[in-house]
Amino acid sequence: MKLIACTEGHSSKIEAFSLEMIAAARSIAQAGDEVVAFFAGRDAEGASASFGAADRLIVARATKSDVIPAETYALLLRDVITAESPGLVLVPYSANGLDVAADIAARTGWPLVSYVNEIKRHGESLTIVAQMYGGKILAECEMQLPAILMINPGAFAEAAPGAITAVSVQTIDADPALTSGKVKMVAIDVPDYADVDLTTAERIVCVGRGIGDEASIDLARNLATMLGAEIAGSRPVVDNGWLPKLRQVGKSGQKVKPKLYLALGVSGAPEHLEGMSQADLIIAVNTDPKAPIFNVAHYGATCDLFDLVANLSDRLRAGSGR
């Protein structure tokens, strides 16, 4: 059986979750199976240098655009699926993957399970553990192959990066699909990082909706200053205008990898985890013991964040003599 691991990369940066897709496919591949990585984009060299954990790599090389719209990616993937007849297609739960998985499920008529955390294979069928309601419920479901799975970022440890042998790389031309699609990439708007670049921050204190209101963010900001950390927020915090957009972490915000990530009143929705689950040390504070943030946290406290922030700030102040 062939397992297709869909990967992504833009502007010479291979997305880390690409290696997670290959690892997920590897974890259920059996003797005689083939793990095929699929990449669409300009950086064919980056893909070849990274996806050595796959048995084969199919690169749809684009020369006309740095970013492949989901419509084009799906168009290219459809052809690959027709040519390869895989038993399983693994798509990352990314902005691109959301559209791509739905497209190929509709075209193939194969079952699609989203928000996947675990996969177990029994011959021609799978048992899947998937998140529902932002991760508050874990659903176990069974499905027959062929199938499509949309995998949560962080659910599988990254496969080791490394070069794939040249003979295992097959290149197709993505440019015709780029020009024939209805969606065209017009421009890439690179944010102005003059205020802050969370992607390089070593410590981050992130506030979620649990912070309650804009005024209370100052408590977390003071704590962040004492910790030498940057303040960040979940999407509702930014949507409410309590923090600027550049300080949002997650799917539609920044992807961060600090040494310390202190999450205060963040539930841990998959879209948030996508931006921070690779942090070296995650400490979560949430009154709800079932909050999904605790699934990725290395340490957690089920207490009121205001108690913890006040106590920790007092201790830091006492320690520094301030």
Ligand X SMILES: Cc1cc2nc3c(=O)[nH]c(=O)nc-3n(C[C@H](O)[C@H](O)[C@H](O)COP(=O)(O)OP(=O)(O)OC[C@H]3O[C@@H](n4cnc5c(N)ncnc54)[C@H](O)[C@@H]3O)c2cc1C
Residue (1 or 219) nearer to ligand X, CB: 219
Residue 265 Cβ vs ligand X, minimum distance, rounded to whole Å: 4
Q: Are 100 and 73 in contact (CB under 8 A)?
A: yes
DSSP strand pairing (137-144 vs 88-92): unpaired
For the chain, give the secondary structure using H, E and C.
CEEEEEECEECCEECHHHHHHHHHHHHHCCCCCEEEEEEEECCHHHHHHHECCCCEEEEEECCCCCCCCHHHHHHHHHHHHHHHCCCEEEEECCHHHHHHHHHHHHHHCCCEEEEEEEEEEECCEEEEEEEEHHHCEEEEEEEECCEEEEECCCCCCCCCCECCCHHHEEEEECHHHHHHCCCCCCCCCCCCCCCCCHHHCCEEEEECHHHCCCCCHHHHHHHHHHHCCEEEECHHHHHCCCCCHHHEECCCCECCCCCEEEEECCCCCHHHHHHHCCCCEEEEECCCCCCCHHHHCCEEECCCHHHHHHHHHHHHHHHHCC
Query: Is 295 known to sit in a ligand binding site?
Result: no
269 labelled as ligand-binding?
yes
Q: Is 271 annotated as a binding residue?
A: yes
Q: Tell whether residue 10 is among the known ligand binding residues.
A: no
Please identify, using beta-carbon distances, which residue of 22 and 256 lies nearer to ligand X.
256
How many residues does the structure list for the chain? 322
* Residue whose CB is less far from ligand X, 26 or 209: 209
Nearest distance in Å: CB 165, ligand X = 37
Residue 270 annotated as lining a ligand binding site: yes
Check the annotation: does 168 bind a ligand: no
Residue 167 or 215: the one with the smaller Cβ distance to ligand X is 215
Residue 218 CB, nearest approach to ligand X (Å):
15
Instruction: Establish whether the linkage from the previous residue to 270 is cis, with ω within 30° of 0.
Output: no
* Bridge partners, residue 151, by sequence: 92, 116
Q: Cβ 25 to ligand X, closest distance in Å? A: 25
Determine if residue 267 is labeled as part of a ligand binding site. yes
Nearer to ligand X, 20 or 274 (CB): 274
Closest listed residue to residue 126, CA positions, set 59, 27, 264, 19: 27
In the complex, the smallest distance separating the C-beta of residue 117 from ligand X, rounded to whole angstroms, is 16
End-to-end CA distance of the chain: 64
Which residue's CB comes closest to ligand X? 250
Q: How far is the CB of 31 from ligand X (least distance, A)?
A: 39
320 has binding-site annotation: no
54 or 269: CB nearest ligand X: 269
Minimum distance of ligand X from residue 285's CB (angstroms): 6
- Annotated ligand binding at 241? The verdict is no
Residue (29 or 306) nearer to ligand X, CB: 306
Kindly tell me which of 146 and 270 has the beta carbon lying closer to ligand X.
270
Which positions touch ligand X (CB under 6 A)?
134, 208-210, 234-236, 248-253, 265-267, 269, 271-272, 275, 285-288, 291, 304-306
Is 136 annotated to bind a ligand? Reply is: no
CB of 69 to ligand X, least distance (A): 16
Annotated binding site for FAD: 209, 234-235, 248-252, 265-272, 286
Annotated binding site: 209, 234-235, 248-252, 265-272, 286
